Every structure is written in C-alpha cells, then in structure tokens.
A and B are shown apart, each in its own frame.
Chain A
Amino acid sequence: MTRDLLLEIGMEEVPARFLRSSMDQLKDRVMKWLSEARIEFGEVEAYATPRRIAVLIHQVAEKQQDINEEVKGPSRKIALDDSGNWSKAALGFARSQGVDPEQFYFKELGGVEYIYANKSSAGVETASVLSEGLMHCISSMNFPKNMRWGAYDFKFVRPIRWMVALFGTDIIPLEICGVAASNVTRGHRFLGQETVVSEPTEYVAKLREQFVVADLAEREQLILAQINALADEKQWKIAIKEDLLEEVLFLVEYPNVLFGTFDPSFLEIPQEVLITSMREHQRYFPVLDASGQLLPFFVTVRNGNRHAIDTVAKGNEKVLRARLSDAKFFYDEDQNFPIADALAKLETIVFHEELGTVGDKVRRIRAISDKLAARMQADADTSKLVSRTADICKFDLVTQMVYEFPELQGVMGEDYARKAGEPVQVAAAINEHYQPRFSGDHSPASLIGAIVSIADKMDTIVGCFSIGIIPTGSADPYALRRQAAGIVQIILDHKLPINLTELFDMAMDIHGSAQLLKRNRDEIRIDLCDFFALRVKNVFTDKVRYDVVDAVMASGYDHLVSVVARGTQLMKIVSEQSDFKVTVESFNRVSNLATKADSLEIIASKFVESVEHDLFNQHQAVHAKYHEALQAGDMAAALEQLSGLQDAITAYFDKVMVMAEDADVRANRLAQLHAIAEDLKLFADFSKIVWA
C-alpha cells in the first residue's frame, strides 16, 4: 500500500542563484531520509519558484520495511573473558546493536569463531515517523548564505512563511518558526490566491490555476517560446545568454515576455557597454539584427500576465534611459581623461599590500614583457609595440566605466586607446592581455597580446608565490590556477619556443630586483613547477591517457610544445600499434639495467658478442637522427627512431648476459645500455605506461 507525499516550503523571495541547488538539496535530503528509514518510494519530482521549493514523491510505502539481519561481533576469544562470561567488548556490541546478549550465537568464519546475533524489528507506519523525518530534512538544510528573522532561533535561506505537507490526503504535522504545515498553498503574489491542495498529485495543476508555473522545464519553455515568437515576428536575433536565462527563470512564477526600446543615439556607446548595462543591471536580453549589430530594443520577462503591459514596458524604458544616460556620461568623461593621467592614478591603487601599487605592477609587466619579446626575437617594431602595450595595459582600471562595470576591463581600454590615437595593435593587445578570461576562452590573437598577457599573469603568480599565497583546496583568491592555465594555453596556441622555468626566472629576477622575493628562490621555483605540472596535465585531459601523460611528463614539461607533442604521439602509437608493448618491454629492460651503470665510457674493443657491435652500431645510427627529430619537434620521427632499436635490443638480450663475471665486460655493457637509456629518457619514462 502506498500514498503520494508532498512537501512544499513557502518563503519570501529566495535569491535566484540559490534556488536550483536548494530545490535539489530538499529532494536529496527527503530521498535519503526515506531510504535510511527503510521506506520504499517511486518517482520523485522537484519544483522551485522564487517563493517556494517543493518535492513530490510518488508511491511512498505506508509501512517501513522490517529489519531482519544477522550482525557479526567480536571473535570468541575477545567476546569471552577468562571465566567464560561476556567481556566488555561483547556487552558493548550488544548495546550498540540493541540486542540481548542472551541471543548471541557463535559461527565460524575463516577458521575463527565470532559471535553473531539476529537483529529484527517490525517496521512502523510511515505516517508515524514522517513529522520527525521531514523536520529533520528541513532543519538540516544549509545554504551559501543563511539568515535569521523575527525572534526565532533558526537559520534558513529566507524566512519561511507557509508549508504544505501531505501524505496522501492527510496533513503531516510540522511546525517551524510559528508556521504550521497545512494543505493550503499560495498562488502568484498578485494574480493568485490561497488554494487547497487536497492531494499531492494535484499540486502543479492547482498552482497553475493560481498563476504559478511550478515546473522548471515548463517555465523555461514558456519563456523561450515567447522570446522566439517575438524574434520571428520582428525579424530580430535575441541574444539569450544561459546564465541570464537561468536567473530570469528563478525571478518569475508566471512569465510574460515583453519588449521596450531606447533612444538610438545611445548606440554610439560601444555595444559591449550597452549589453552589459542591460544584462547586469536590468536582466534584459539584448536585441540584434541578422548581422549581429545591436538594435535599440530590449526584451524582458514580467512576473505576471499581460494586463497593462505597456505601463510595464514604459517603466522599464524609463529606467534604462537613466542607466544609459549614466553610461553615456561615463563614456564621454572617460575620453576627456588622458591616458597619462590615468597611469598616474594607478600609482595610488594598491595591487597587494606586499606587492605594491598597480603602478608598480605595470612596471614589472613592462620589464618581463621586454625580456620575453627579446627572447622571442621579436623585431624592433613589435618590441616597441609590446613595450607600449605593457605600459598602458591597465590604464582603463581607473576609468569610470570600468569602475561601474569591472567585467569591461580591457574592452574599454581598447576603445579608449584607439580613440586616443594609440596604434591599433596596442589597442587590440590591451584587450587581449586579459585573455583567456575563462576556461575555454581564446588566447590573445596577436603575439603582442600573448607576450603582455603572459607577463601580467606570470607577475601575479610569482608575486603571490613569493609572499606565500599558494592556492590550496578551494582557496584561490587571486585566481592563480586560471592564470597559470592561461599561460600554458597561450604558449601552446602560439607554439612559443620557451621553457616555463625561463619564464619563472624572468619574473623572479624582476621581483628580486624590487626586493619582493620574500622566500628562497629555489623553493619558489619548486612550488611553481609543481603548480604548473597540474595545469599541464589538464591540457591532455580526454585526449591522452593519464599513464601516457605521466610517462612523457616524467621526461620534463618545461618545454610545453614538446611535452604535448610527445604525449600526443605516444598516445597515438600506444593505441594504434598493438606490438608496441614488446618495444616498450625491451626499452624497460634497457632502462632498468642502465641504473646499475657506474662508468659511462663505452669501449667498442671490449665487446665480446657480435650482437653487442650490432646494437652499438644501430644506436649510433639512430642517435643523431633522433636528436635531430627532437630538435625539430617531429615527435613521430623521433619515436620511430627509438622503435628502430627494438630488434637490436631483442637480439642483444637473447645472446648477452649483461651482468657478466668479468668486471670490465660488465661495466662496458652497462655503459652501452646507459647511453641508450639516456636517449629513451628524453622522450618518456616508458615504464609508466600501463598495459591492459
């Protein structure tokens, strides 16, 4: 026998960003509790609107399952004391399991006797445990931000104002902060009324009558269908950013889409500014034409019906007008603010107490950028542009627009720099130097942008590491992981022939000369290497197996382009050539024995067997070509050269007993193997490859 179960928690408006997780949490907690209470149940649905989260569980058993299980206790030796009475351990076991020691019996397991007991209890009526269980589910919920209200000693995401708790048609008695559960829910704040839900499965339909669309998918569909219809009718492209749609979804119970317009003269302001203002301040969807140009319209979603919708549109237009007037004011003011004055102002902004002002940071970026440009053998023109970009890359931080919209840093810099007559490459690179801004974003398109971006990020990472700010767990306040991943991405995308440790040293030199290295340089370098190793590993994710990654990284990841090429090539061969396993086994034999070598000198005249000469000659032939291929970054050719040693190695081990009695012969053989192992090591530690 089963009944359906409904629990709705009605609240004052819950922050949109917490709603989905709160809904999931309620669902998980109720399901977990039912399972632990041995109450069987069927399908589970969850709902959320700004004023409620709810869970509806179908076919909940009316009775708990009975317990009938055998529990195992301590061994006989421990369970009985010297005089044959139950020991403390045995009595403790009885207590913890809630069984009478009288019921213990012995059973053998693996040659040892243990005490056992049968635990059994009849399940009780579900209805008799629901109150306590659901109270526990609700009061144990936690949220990113909790609050108290009234005179209650209770914390929740927002004040609880009503609850519906039904088991079949019965109301489950619950009370929290003066709110008693009932079968009465509340409809839309303005359009709806209170309504009785007489049994759980009526929930969604009853709410719909009261202008609340409780189901998330249905509500999202309603919003999207209306937006698409509007776009079709007007021949617009309405840009729907997912996180904004998600937020809007949780700001409305009964969505109705409307549009408004703004004065086209505002279109003089850069598109990004208008879009950001509409999205961030007003939660509007921007409207574009077919070619992606912004149009002077916006789309918003009302929490209500279409009555007096023109008033709502006019009101929103008025607000947007004030917002865009502000933006226009900032935009005009900012352009009257010379870059030189902005740079002077950077000297008063603290980047980090121990690392100086933003002005100090800019000077370090410039110094690192110049070194990096020289190292990349940039021509004189490019070097000049790099220097200028580095000098002014942060000037827009003190503009009013970026103060208002921090996410427009770089975007405004580019626009203002271009208007101020800076070279177009410099303007573009100012924007690019923040890239990649997030995981999956592009690298800077230009080499200038790439250089300044690396310099900026490396400066931050080295600065933080030198004063002991090293990300641990979830604590990464300066987003150093993202910045390190950004550096790795830029080096790979631009195929920059530079070692990571060179970059570390450049940045540490600059910090050192400014007396900013607060820790031992070698320690910082070790920490940096470890930190970057994880970022490099992430590059391979999904494409190269972890053991292959470990194998090539063991040969060094200082040169990113090389390690990625080696990893990719090795993965290809490992997955495509089934006999490669044999090759690797021969490599591993060589490398294992090579560790015993003392002398590195190979004396051909001391070879005894002809296969020794063969291997020597074969290695001589391979060695030069192998190094050439490594140099050229042709990892396919490099690995092919190494594989070419396999036959000679196999023949060698068939005939030769390496650990010969004669010390000279033995040393000579080990030296030979050591030389080969050294070459292998440049590609990968092949022993790390795991074979199925």
Chain B
Amino acid sequence: MNFQQIILTLQNFWAEQKCVVVQPYDVEKGAGTLNPMTFLRSIGPEPWNVAYVEPSRRPADGRYGENPNRLYQHHQFQVIMKPSPDNIQELYLESLKRLGVDPLEHDIRFVEDNWEHPGLGAWGLGWEVWLDGMEVTQFTYFQQVGGIETNPVAVEITYGLERLASYIQAKENVFELEWVDGITYGDVFLQPEYEHSKYTFETSDVPMLFQLFNTYEEEARKTMDQNLVFPAYDYVLKCSHTFNLLDARGAISVTERTGYITRVRNLSRQIAATYLAEREKLGFPMLKKGDV
C-alpha cells in the first residue's frame, strides 16, 4: 500500500465513522493537535468528530535529509471524536485492518504514554500503540485543553504516517517510501528537508525571528481583545513556530525557554476561554436539541 493509499484508506474509514474530513490547516505547526479543528473544537460541550492529515513541522528534528527516520516535516493523520465513543479502541484496530495490518500476524499493544503540551495548557492520558515494538500511534483522552477541563472528553488518535508506512512497505529509509507508483517520498520531500534544515540551523535571521515573535504575540493579543478567536489563534500558532525555529537554532537559553513557553501558554489559555465564551454566546450551535 503506498503512502497516498494509506491516507485515502484512513480518510475513508473515519468518514464512515461520521467524522468530518477536513484539509490540512494552512499555518505552520508542530503537531496536528495544534490545528484549531482539534485545539479549539475539543473545548466545550458541542459534539465534534473530525479527521485530517496534518503536515507537522519540527525544526529541531531536521537532519538535512540524511537521517532515515528523522524529519523537519512529517505527516500525522489526526482523528478527534468528542465525546469519545465507547468502542474507540475497536474502531482504531479496525482501521489498522483496513491498512492490511492483521492483529493476529503481529503484536499490537497499548503502552501507557501520557501526553502534555505545556504551551497549550493541555494534557491527557492514554497510550502509544506499539506494532511489533514500533510506536505507530498516539492515543489520548484529553482531560484539559487551554487550561479548561474537557467536558465531554474528546479522544485524539494520531497516526504517525511515515512510521506506519515504513512498516507496511517494509522500508528502512523514509525517503524510499512509495508515495504513489513510481514516485518516492524522497522525490517529493528530500529537497525541502535539506533546505529547511539548512535554513533552520544555519541561515535563519535570529534577530528578525525574535522580532517576529514579539510582533505575532502583540497581534494575537490585540486580535483577541476584539474577541476574534480564530485569527488570534493563527498568530499564536505563528508564535509557536517562530519559537521552535529559535529553539532549534540554539538561540534561546534554558532560562528564557520557560519564559517563552509561558507567554505562548498564556495566549492559548486566553484564546481557549474566549472561544468557549463566544460559542456560548452563539448558543453552542452544534448541540442537538435536548442535548444540553
């Protein structure tokens, strides 16, 4: 099964489970969780089921395209279901079967792994899913998002697509994965991997990045003061990515690090609270009648 088929299979499967299939969000981010379709929509009483691919940028993981496993940008397939269905584990295992992973031929385990994102004021409990010892999925019941207790609880399933594909296609090197017949992952992503790594570690303009961080932060704050949650959140994402670039460059000392994370967290918390208030003003439109 090529990379593209894996994505299409997962999309179809979760669409069958009544998930809204949306497209990747167009602002840089480190993980699918930061997508507003997850971060914001996990908050509040409204039911919400969504699935999407998220290209996720982790500047510090860039390796100039030379490491067979580490990437500046990798792909996650993200599923959110709120409230978490009672048979969510069975649904997940069913999705693996669709990808040709027969549990009787393998060793599939749910190994405790709790998730925390200080920058988002978010945490949850769950597992990493092991496929013959390889972590292929992160499975989390969100307990708090943006500093707000989740109620009902959303469950998040994050498939690591490259890892899953390397297993399914029995490839050692991510760049040798088949994206689609005749075209490899490397054909599509090797050059950007190299260039982004070079930019991140060698040529990025550090003073400009610091300035951008401050500018984005200020804009986020001003926008939030207007109760414009979504545009404000875009600027928080930009802050977060800028911080990641600076951090990867080694431009932020350990002491300062905490300070920057706190700044992003404060913004996230404020946005989460505003989002909840704005949805309430709208009467939580996605709640079905009698669902309160």
Determine the distance from Cα of A620 to Cα of B287 in the docked complex, in whole angstroms: 97
Determine if A325 is an interface residue (Cβ-Cβ < 8 Å). Answer: yes
Determine if A312 is an interface residue (Cβ-Cβ < 8 Å). Answer: yes
Q: How far is the CB of B224 from chain A (nearest CB, A)?
A: 28
Determine if A307 is an interface residue (Cβ-Cβ < 8 Å). Answer: yes
A151 touches B107 (CB 8 A): no
Q: How far is the CB of B228 from chain A (nearest CB, A)?
A: 30
A300 touches B86 (CB 8 A): no
Q: How far is the CB of B66 from chain A (nearest CB, A)?
A: 10
B109 neighbours in A (Cβ, 8 Å): 13, 251, 303
Q: How far is the CB of B14 from chain A (nearest CB, A)?
A: 18
Determine if B167 is an interface residue (Cβ-Cβ < 8 Å). Answer: yes
Interface centre among B108, B110, B167, B254 (most CB of A within 10 A): B110
Determine if B43 is an interface residue (Cβ-Cβ < 8 Å). Answer: no
B160 neighbours in A (Cβ, 8 Å): none
- Give the segment of A108-116, A216-224, A315-323, A644-652 that binds chain B: A315-323
B143 neighbours in A (Cβ, 8 Å): 147-148
Which A627-645 residues have C-beta < 8 A from chain B?
A: none
Q: How big is chain B's contact interface, by range?
A: 35 or more
Which A46-78 residues have C-beta < 8 A from chain B?
A: 50
How many A-B contacts if CB must be within 8 Å? 103
A178 neighbours in B (Cβ, 8 Å): 86
- Give the segment of B131-139, B188-196, B260-268, B272-280 that binds chain A: B131-139
B86 touches A13 (CB 8 A): no
Determine the distance from Cα of A322 to Cα of B127 in the docked complex, in whole angstroms: 21
Closest to A315 in B: B132
B112 neighbours in A (Cβ, 8 Å): 13, 15-17
Which B111-137 residues have C-beta < 8 A from chain A?
A: 111-112, 114, 124-125, 127, 131-134
Determine the distance from Cα of A320 to Cα of B69 in the docked complex, in whole angstroms: 12
Interface string of A304-320 (1 = CB under 8 A from B): 10011001101110111
Interface centre among B69, B86, B93 (most CB of A within 10 A): B86
Determine if A350 is an interface residue (Cβ-Cβ < 8 Å). Answer: yes
A311 touches B125 (CB 8 A): no
Q: How far is the CB of B3 from chain A (nearest CB, A)?
A: 18
Q: How far is the CB of B73 from chain A (nearest CB, A)?
A: 19
B68 neighbours in A (Cβ, 8 Å): 322, 325
Given contacts A147-B125, A150-B153, A325-B68, contact A311 B106 (CB under 8 A): yes
Given contacts A148-B153, A150-B153, contact A304 B107 (CB under 8 A): yes
A315 touches B111 (CB 8 A): no
Q: How far is the CB of B232 from chain A (nearest CB, A)?
A: 28
B167 neighbours in A (Cβ, 8 Å): 315, 318
B254 neighbours in A (Cβ, 8 Å): 348-350
Q: How far is the CB of A613 from chain B (nearest CB, A)?
A: 74
Interface string of B62-74 (1 = CB under 8 A from A): 0000011100000
Q: How far is the CB of A332 from chain B (nearest CB, A)?
A: 13
Determine the distance from Cα of A587 to Cα of B172 in the docked complex, in whole angstroms: 81
Closest to A16 in B: B112
Determine the distance from Cα of A50 to Cα of B103 in the docked complex, in whole angstroms: 17
Given contacts A150-B152, A282-B133, A308-B105, contact A350 B89 (CB under 8 A): no
Closest to B105 in A: A308
Q: How far is the CB of B176 from chain A (nearest CB, A)?
A: 14
B255 touches A350 (CB 8 A): yes
Determine if B141 is an interface residue (Cβ-Cβ < 8 Å). Answer: yes
Given contacts A147-B143, A190-B108, contact A315 B125 (CB under 8 A): no
A320 touches B133 (CB 8 A): yes
B111 touches A251 (CB 8 A): yes
A147 touches B132 (CB 8 A): no
Determine if A119 is an interface residue (Cβ-Cβ < 8 Å). Answer: no
Determine if A145 is an interface residue (Cβ-Cβ < 8 Å). Answer: yes
A289 neighbours in B (Cβ, 8 Å): none
Given contacts A149-B84, A151-B152, contact A308 B106 (CB under 8 A): yes
Which A342-385 residues have C-beta < 8 A from chain B?
A: 348-350
B104 touches A191 (CB 8 A): yes
Determine the distance from Cα of A53 to Cα of B248 in the docked complex, in whole angstroms: 45
Determine if B186 is an interface residue (Cβ-Cβ < 8 Å). Answer: no
A318 touches B111 (CB 8 A): no
Determine the distance from Cα of A314 to Cα of B167 in the docked complex, in whole angstroms: 10
Determine the distance from Cα of A303 to Cα of B104 in the docked complex, in whole angstroms: 10
17 A-B contacts (beta carbon < 8 Å): A12-B89, A13-B127, A15-B112, A16-B112, A145-B125, A149-B153, A189-B93, A190-B104, A190-B108, A282-B133, A311-B106, A314-B132, A315-B107, A316-B133, A318-B134, A326-B69, A350-B254
Enumerate chain A interface residues (CB-CB to B < 8 A).
12-13, 15-17, 50, 145, 147-151, 158-159, 161, 178, 189-191, 251, 282, 300, 302-304, 307-308, 311-312, 314-316, 318-322, 325-326, 329, 348-350
| Additional 8 contacts, C-beta under 8 A, given A300-B133, A311-B106 | A12-B110, A50-B110, A147-B141, A311-B105, A311-B132, A315-B131, A315-B133, A325-B68
